[in-house]
Amino acid sequence: MLKIKAQQLTKKDFAPYGEYYKMTAPDGYALSGELHSFYPDRVLASECGNVGFSPITVKKPEKMVIKQVEYHTTTSELILPLTDDMILHVAQPSAGKPIPEQTKAFIVPKNTLIKMNACVWHLAPLPRKKDVLTAMIILPECTYMNDCKVVDLKIEEQFEIVE
């Protein structure tokens, strides 16, 4: 079985898949007042209509064997891990055919907002240390019904994420 090593998140390595920002360690220019500093527009996502903010809970598996992947053709997906660092696997768009051999896995620190570009292969984030990860998924309303292509991987396409 293909094993993919989870790597530390860096701007350069994650750039082909999207962008991210550590929300609890803001940097750069801020609009500041007597009691506040506001760091505007650190991650941008262009969506039309309503946006859903949906919590997800994910149990830590004994082994991180990935048997399914998904993508969204018309929208980016944002994920904010709230209770633990998360492991996120991604692969570049490939016209609807999974490419497990080109998959990367990243260790995403808690409270780091990830934005994955449209058509990037992924699935649910996985907890790194805790038994259960709670994260926030941010997508246009009903994306899970209208723009979510889930593909079951053949046995020979399945892969395991390791640290």
- Among residues 79, 81, 83, 110, which one has the least CA distance to residue 17? 79
Per-residue pLDDT band for 22 (boundaries 50, 70, 90) equals very high
Q: Are 17 and 103 in contact (CB under 8 A)?
A: no
- How far apart (Å, rounded) are the C-alpha atoms in residues 17 and 84? 22
Domain limits for position 25: 2-162
- Among residues 157, 153, 148, which one has the least CA distance to residue 70? 148
Q: Is the pLDDT of residue 58 over 90?
A: yes
Number of domains in the chain: 1
Query: Which residues are CB-contacts of 145 (< 8 A; sequence separation ≥ 6)?
Result: none
Instruction: Give the CATH number of the domain where residue 148 resides.
Output: 2.60.120.480
Q: What is the pLDDT of residues 105-161, one digit of tens each?
A: 999 999 999 999 999 999 999 999 999 999 999 999 999 898 999 999 999 999 999
Per-residue pLDDT band for 47 (boundaries 50, 70, 90) equals confident
Question: Rounded to two decimals, what is the model's pTM?
Answer: 0.93
